[in-house]
Amino acid sequence: MLACRRLVVAVAIVSAMMARQGVCFHHAVSVARAMAVSRSCDRELSCVGGIVMQAEGNARNRREILRSFFQGAAAVAVTGLPLSSQAKVIRPAGLEGYDEFQRDFISKQVPPGLQLATFSGGCFWCMEPPFDAIDGVVSTTSGYCGGDEAYPNYNQVSLGLTHHAESMQVLFDPSKVSYEKLLDTFWHNIDPTTKDRQFCDSGKQYRTIVFYHNELQRQAFENSRLQWESSKKFGAPIVVECVKYEKFWPAEDYHQDYYLKNEKKYKFYRYLCGRDRYLDKTWSKEATKKPLPFMLDVF
């Protein structure tokens, strides 16, 4: 229990740093959890995460959220009591709970001649950039997929209160880019050997999935999976799921193109989470020690 309380203090320290950059608090909890030697403190950490999300749902500004976080972290650190691991920040049920971007996305149809591809590769902020850079990709949309719950929101999904995974949907022109090219980009931007986790983010909401829209996509995935398994490139069994596509729910507007709208915040989170270190090592890029970005103006 003492070790868990110390870890909660570590969460508070990391969160203070990330809060100054405006990074979502659940990512701070994920980073601190990744620092832990033992994974036996999830109850305490999820408790703090619940407190944070409740604060985010009601607070008027970041200072109020930070104050609520430290109050909750202090209570857990001192008492060890699980105040609430099921905090639900729930919007009004139905379409009226969605913002303008989400409502507009749901009403749209796929234009003639274009196709969809849907992937889950951990944090959707990090999955958009590599696909946006591909010629033939018309758009990428961050969202939620894989669960039965209708109209999910970010707080619910990121806390693991639904069966959805953070996902990304690609609208592409098959005359310019093949589905196999999109699959190859997917493999090059994830760790396919970790179950219910991607780098610092853990939980079923961060599982890796390829959602196939038709039989051709399913077969393309199976072929690529067999090729990667036989190559032994990843050094461990591949655990990426292949699931029939059912429904994709767009994430809130502020999540779309997050890496462009909030460049510093995005880079700060991505660096701490360890994605690039893994990708550089796996794909034989020279590993270099990079200074922690934006540290000089954290405090």
By DSSP bridging, strand 115-121 and strand 241-244 are unpaired
Q: Record the tokens describing residue 297, joined without a space.
A: 């103006």
**Gap between the Cα atoms of 89 and 154, Å rounded:** 9
Q: Would you please indicate which residues are annotated as catalytic (active-site) residues?
A: 123
**Gap between the Cα atoms of 227 and 236, Å rounded:** 14
Q: Which of 106, 123, 290 is nearest to 190 (CA)?
A: 123
- Residue 87 has a CB neighbour count (10 Å cut-off) of 21
Helices 275-282 and 263-273: crossing angle in degrees, nearest 10, is 60
Under a CB-based contact definition with an 8 Å cutoff, are residues 53 and 84 in contact?
no
> Could you tell me which residues are beta bridge partners of residue 244?
212
- Which one-letter DSSP state was computed for residue 206? G
**Gap between the Cα atoms of 5 and 12, Å rounded:** 11
Q: Which of 120, 118, 128 is nearest to 212 (CA)?
A: 118
Q: How open is the CA angle 232-233-237, to the nearest 5 degrees?
A: 55
Q: Record the tokens describing residue 243, joined without a space.
A: 């699931």
